[in-house]
């Protein structure tokens, strides 16, 4: 198959097909974007009820390491991407022997390991961006534990691998608490980060093509609750212009130094003194970028399709102010814990309200069931309607 893979191309008598490892909501939205351009899609996921698998042309229900499933995916798809960062990097490397794969396996491997990730951020800060990670220490042994500088306490202990949405983390204030938390985490490799005085959090999503072209979405201002993203606000002046420019420049440097191909999100802390600190990256579209489906002329999933297929990258433009509310499973239960349906009719009566449900059959607390984006021409009006939506749904005001 020649590259780029153009919309409408025919391969062995069938429309060109794009594959994705992972069948969650991010995969589902990628499938929608790919299908809108006329591509067929194939999803590999171990869950028979996966949201993306249910809408894809082809679905392979298998473990991500299953060699037969990977061979079938490579046989069906001309190019393959991933929708979550904890897909085995080795599976991407195996697929790359036969097919175009983005993001590259080695980039995913760096994002899966906080130790390697922070080392990359530190190199980028020293070389160009100046936006460094929080002061931190790597803990892999008793000697590392004993050598932790006192200045890093109080801090947050994070497992080096397999942590997301606040999982694999513990706040520690003393050396005794640090030692206890490390024991409870199974003495696995960890990173201890100094706890910093935060003013707010933000993120930047960029897309980079194989030719080195990089385009950026606007900076997203984020609010997390319980380690899970709750609210994203994106409109002009949601952050000081100089800070937004610094975050975008740092993100472009991070993605370019990785020689990355695909969509990448980098999350930042803004400290109370105005400094920017890089937190972590996700080698995929991101929850904070869901608003782009409704508020931009290209969504983050459109960019994912373009980078995978080798199509031209054009800078996306935001046409509407936007606030996104994450819809977690607890909204499907009343105060007594009995199942209920959220008041969708009342919510959808609000001007600019756009509801996206992910097709997950079972709601449970903390599970991402969907999101609501409110768009409009002025930020004040959007905020008013988003606060009204939150009130109707029983979401804490912001």
pLDDT number for residue 127: 86
Alpha carbons 195 and 170: distance in angstroms, whole number = 11
Share above pLDDT 70 across residues of the chain, in percent, rounded to a whole number:
98
Q: How do residues 33-52 score in pLDDT, each as one tens digit?
A: 999 999 999 999 999 999 99
pLDDT number for residue 85: 85
Average the pLDDT over 174-199 and give the result.
Answer: 97
135-194 and 198-393 in the same fold: no
Sequence-ordered list of residues with C-beta below 8 angstroms from that of 40, at least 6 positions apart, any chain:
14, 15, 16, 17, 18, 57, 58
Tell which residue, 33, 26, 30, 63, has the closest CA to residue 48: 63
The angle formed by the CA atoms of residues 373, 377 and 379, to the nearest 5 degrees, is 70
Beta bridge partners of 371: 326, 356
pLDDT number for residue 373: 98
Query: Does the bond joining 4 to the residue before it have cis omega, within 30 degrees of 0?
Result: yes
In the predicted structure, residue 209 carries a pLDDT above the cut 90: yes
The model's pTM: 0.95
Name the fold adopted by 198-393.
Answer: D-amino Acid Aminotransferase; Chain A, domain 1 (3.30.470)
**What is the band of 301 on the pLDDT scale with cuts at 50, 70, 90?**
very high
Query: Residues for the chain: how many in total?
Result: 398
Tell which residue, 157, 185, 159, 189, has the closest CA to residue 171: 157
| Tokens read off for 106 | 């080695």
Where do the domains of the chain lie? Answer: 10-101, 135-194, 198-393
pLDDT number for residue 165: 61
CB 370 within 8 A of CB 314: no
- Mean pLDDT of the chain, nearest integer: 96
Name the fold adopted by 135-194.
Answer: Dna Ligase; domain 1 (3.30.1490)
pLDDT number for residue 167: 72
| Tokens read off for 184 | 């409870």
Alpha carbons 360 and 264: distance in angstroms, whole number = 25
CATH class of 10-101: alpha beta
């Amino acid at each position: 198959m020649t590259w780029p893979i153009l919309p409408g191309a025919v391969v062995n008598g069938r429309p060109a097909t794009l594959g994705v490892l992972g069948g969650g909501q991010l995969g589902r939205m990628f499938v929608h974007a790919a299908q809108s351009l006329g591509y067929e899609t194939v999803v590999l996921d171990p869950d028979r009820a996966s949201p993306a698998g249910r809408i894809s042309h082809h679905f392979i229900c298998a473990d991500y390491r299953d060699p037969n499933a990977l061979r079938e995916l490579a046989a069906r798809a001309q190019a393959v991407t991933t929708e979550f960062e904890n897909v085995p990097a080795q599976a991407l490397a195996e697929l790359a022997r036969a097919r175009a794969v983005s993001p590259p396996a080695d980039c995913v491997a760096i994002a899966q390991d906080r130790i390697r990730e922070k080392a990359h951020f530190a190199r980028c800060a020293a070389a160009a961006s100046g936006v460094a990670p929080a002061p931190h220490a790597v803990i892999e042994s008793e000697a590392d534990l004993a050598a932790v500088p006192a200045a890093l306490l109080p801090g947050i202990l994070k497992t080096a691998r397999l942590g997301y949405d606040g999982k694999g983390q513990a706040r520690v204030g003393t050396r005794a608490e640090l030692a206890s938390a490390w024991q409870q985490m199974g003495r696995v490799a960890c990173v201890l980060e100094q706890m910093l005085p935060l003013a707010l959090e933000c993120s930047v999503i960029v897309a980079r093509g194989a030719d080195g072209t990089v385009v950026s979405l606007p900076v997203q201002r984020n609010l997390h609750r319980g380690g899970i993203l709750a609210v994203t606000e994106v409109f002009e002046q949601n952050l000081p212009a100089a800070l937004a420019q610094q975050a975008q420049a740092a993100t472009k440097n991070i993605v370019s130094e990785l020689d990355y191909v695909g969509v990448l999100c980098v999350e930042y802390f803004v400290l109370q003194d105005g400094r920017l600190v890089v937190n972590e990256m996700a080698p995929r579209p991101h929850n904070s970028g869901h608003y782009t489906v409704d508020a931009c002329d290209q969504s983050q999933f459109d960019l994912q399709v373009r980078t995978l297929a080798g199509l031209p990258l054009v800078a996306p433009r935001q046409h509407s102010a936007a606030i996104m509310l994450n819809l977690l499973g607890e909204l499907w239960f009343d105060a007594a814990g009995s199942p209920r349906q959220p008041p969708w009719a009342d919510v959808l009566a609000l001007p600019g309200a756009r509801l996206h449900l992910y097709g997950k059959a079972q709601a449970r607390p903390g599970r991402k069931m969907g999101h609501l984006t409110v768009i409009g021409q002025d930020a004040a009006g959007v905020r008013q309607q988003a606060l009204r939506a939150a009130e109707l749904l029983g979401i804490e005001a912001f």
